[in-house]
Structure 1
């Protein structure tokens, strides 16, 4: 029986995508794990892998097509021993216009006589068995599930997949190893009020010379999520001025000692560490609002805002509170590089317990960042600049930056937010504390 390839949901927020490029053509033979296409999601351009083997009988959706809905058939694979030509007709047959009453088809043409077959006894459809993962070499599993299973020593053939068609997904691996499930986002909480549909934006008519640029899937998602954040989350902003001289001196000394390893720490690497340690010191801020629950996290996963050509993405430093600065620097360099190439995997940018956004390199003195739900806080970092500053009870010239924390006031009280800002300031001004 022909196998229909459907547009996959490559991220939890994905509703439609762009089929950017086919990596196979009709007539090609593919096996499980082969790359089939590049799909532009709301976050990145990702590769789509085959989970079955066979011959590409028909490419239904051509490359470059925008707005392909999740679940829509994009290609047909003929299984082993099947005629590829016959399999290619399967999607066409499903779309044949049905004859309407009065002897016309949906196109307004007279229906052929053979379109009205002699009534026969209606055959009852055979009951379908519950989807189950294949065994042996035919186990259906997502690429992420395969990697996790290999890392954790899980036998895929012993699991029953909960994904489409019995496909084994990450949740099945987590269930098999007893890993904690991800907390539901606030929008999924039963107590949350339904979000009103956004009013359509009227097309702007203007005589001013201009160029109309079509929004990418990423830009559409950024617009929707940030609008939801400002509409639904009561933001409270707290700002502190922080002296950077001690941190800059320590960074210089550490970089000198790391030369032999080819590593170089940035100021941002050290601020990521400082925020993570601060969140563990003030756990009331390492939380997420989930309707009638408050989720308190037991590690600090820091999402770091990275500007890319099509918008913004936030790769995550997992467990930043326990990682060495050298490890954070190495990981951040890799994540930022792959983010700009659009090659991050979903688990590398989805999640996180808090965010940091640094615009100091652009000379921005201070700004208020928008919270990235379901997180409850984000730290906005301004530029370090020479300013008059009181040091040891005397007015001196020091390198000072402004940091502004945006907090979800449903989950974090102002006093707790102030404690976090105080802890962050103390750690940056006395940076050896974050290394202890």
Structure 2
């Protein structure tokens, strides 16, 4: 019997993905453990490993196809003894079922959904094949696609005569319709969608957003809209930390380990969170989650956007161990090879833009975490030391805190502990 290969769920939250690349073709024989495709999730490009043996008889989803639902048949294998030429498959996306209009037969509903709704994610329950009361009390029946187009073009569906079954309005009915200045009242309650960009005749290129970039846009928008941020900034002397780093690197040279300032800052943030547990928390509706260890998500820039690999229990690891892990995680992050557990989770984040010469900035909290530490560049500045004005290496660090979970005084205490650990860095080795 033919074996159907379906779009896998490569992370606990994955609902759809992009079939980035096929590594096999029709007629190829595969065995368990063979890597047959690369699949792009919202965070990374991951390998799809075969668990069955067979011959690739049919590829149902082409390379580069986006928004492939988990569970969709993407290919079919012919087992031993089967004729591959007699085996075929077709993509069967998992489409959310919508309520059927009261006066529309079930068979007609299925036909319309297959023809129009399959490529797009279904809307809330009231939108698909639902009847909308018209001004005169009659009910307007429209397909999901027609309703979406009408909303985007500000077209009043009550002014259109439907050509579909039982007078249902379909896409063809509104293609030539003109926008109405007074759209139906229900449209006013529909969330506004971003207006299409206008080029004003300026030469430009347009690049389709990747799954990762879409996720970044959505999550950061949600964070700024839903999380009340409070920002606390401190200036920190780096001279002692830089001296300690140089000494540690001299002693570690034979082992091939080289510490960065960021490695030491990861350790400092983790120890600060352990020392101030009221900041090592997450807001969870009617609960406050308090963590017994500090897992630090570290922002890493990659071509597709930003990803945050995690140093687990960073407060209890040596700085050399942190350096080794961070080098490995950052390298695989840039190759898109991280596993979900390596970038999903974390109790707090650290973002360092000092290497770009940024003096100070305020980072957006990575939900559902409760805080993120933003690190600016270390630079020579006039600084008062023991009542005398001197020149010192100083950096600015800004903590962004979720004010629902962390009070300003607790955030200030964490910033003080963080500053003290960096200015007296032997505590990082204790």
Establish whether TM, by shorter chain, passes 0.5. Answer: yes
Q: Does 1:275 align with 2:283?
A: no
**Which of the numbers 245, 260, 264 marks the counterpart of 2:258?**
264
Distance of aligned partners of 1:286 and 1:309 in 2 relative to their CA distance in 1, 3 Å threshold: same
Does the 8 Å contact 1:21/1:39 carry over to 2?
Answer: yes
Q: Distance in 2 between the 1:33 and 1:290 partners?
A: 39
Match of 1:149 in 2: none
Q: Deviations over 1:372-423 (max 9, x none)?
A: 1111100000011111111122221111110000011111111111111010
Q: In structure 1, the residue corresponding to 2:314 is in which secondary structure?
A: coil
Distance of aligned partners of 1:409 and 1:435 in 2 relative to their CA distance in 1, 3 Å threshold: same
Match of 2:381 in 1: 387
Deviation at 1:66, TM superposition (A): 2.3
Q: In structure 1, the residue corresponding to 2:87 is in which secondary structure?
A: helix
- In the alignment of these two chains, the number of paired residues is 341
Q: Distance in 2 between the 1:329 and 1:198 partners?
A: 46
Q: Distance in 1 between the 2:390 and 2:28 partners?
A: 72
Match of 1:118 in 2: none
Match of 1:87 in 2: 87
Does the 8 Å contact 1:13/1:42 carry over to 2?
Answer: no
Q: In structure 2, the residue corresponding to 1:214 is in which secondary structure?
A: coil
Q: Does 1:222 align with 2:207?
A: no
Q: Distance in 2 between the 1:424 and 1:91 partners?
A: 57
Q: Deviations over 1:136-166 (max 9, x none)?
A: xxxxxxxxxxxxxxxxxxxxxxxxxxxxxxx
Q: Does 1:204 align with 2:205?
A: no
Q: Deviations over 1:241-269 (max 9, x none)?
A: 11111101111111111111111111000
Match of 2:25 in 1: 25
Match of 1:429 in 2: 423
Match of 1:294 in 2: 288
Distance of aligned partners of 1:307 and 1:198 in 2 relative to their CA distance in 1, 3 Å threshold: farther
Task: Identify which range, 284-293 or 418-427, moves more after superposition.
Answer: 284-293
Deviation at 1:198, TM superposition (A): 6.1
**Which of the numbers 327, 332, 342 marks the counterpart of 2:336?**
342
Q: Distance in 2 between the 1:290 and 1:30 partners?
A: 45
Q: Deviations over 1:305-352 (max 9, x none)?
A: 001111101011111001111111111111111111111111111111
Does the 8 Å contact 1:355/1:379 carry over to 2?
Answer: yes
Q: Distance in 2 between the 1:197 and 1:93 partners?
A: 30
Q: In structure 1, the residue corresponding to 2:315 is in which secondary structure?
A: coil
Deviation at 1:213, TM superposition (A): 1.2
Alignment of 1:322-341 (within 5 A): 322-341=316-335
Deviation at 1:93, TM superposition (A): 11
Q: Distance in 2 between the 1:92 and 1:228 partners?
A: 33
Distance of aligned partners of 1:316 and 1:390 in 2 relative to their CA distance in 1, 3 Å threshold: same
Match of 1:254 in 2: 248
Deviation at 1:17, TM superposition (A): 1.9
Q: Distance in 1 between the 2:358 and 2:329 partners?
A: 24
Deviation at 1:81, TM superposition (A): 3.8
Alignment of 1:299-378 (within 5 A): 299-378=293-372
Q: Distance in 1 between the 2:87 and 2:402 partners?
A: 54
Match of 2:178 in 1: none
Q: Deviations over 1:261-284 (max 9, x none)?
A: 111111000000000000000011
Consecutive unaligned residues of structure 1, counting only runs of 5 or more, are 95-99, 108-195
Distance of aligned partners of 1:262 and 1:59 in 2 relative to their CA distance in 1, 3 Å threshold: same
Match of 2:48 in 1: 48
Q: In structure 2, the residue corresponding to 1:204 is in which secondary structure?
A: coil
Q: Deviations over 1:161-184 (max 9, x none)?
A: xxxxxxxxxxxxxxxxxxxxxxxx
Please, what TM-score do these two structures have when normalized by structure 2? 0.75
Q: In structure 1, the residue corresponding to 2:323 is in which secondary structure?
A: helix
Match of 2:164 in 1: none
Q: In structure 1, the residue corresponding to 2:225 is in which secondary structure?
A: helix
Alignment of 1:97-246 (within 5 A): 199-206=192-199, 207-246=201-240
Q: Deviations over 1:215-242 (max 9, x none)?
A: 1111111001111111111111111111
Q: In structure 2, the residue corresponding to 1:407 is in which secondary structure?
A: strand
Q: Distance in 1 between the 2:380 and 2:203 partners?
A: 43
Deviation at 1:199, TM superposition (A): 3.4
Match of 1:405 in 2: 399
Distance of aligned partners of 1:391 and 1:198 in 2 relative to their CA distance in 1, 3 Å threshold: farther
Q: In structure 2, the residue corresponding to 1:77 is in which secondary structure?
A: strand
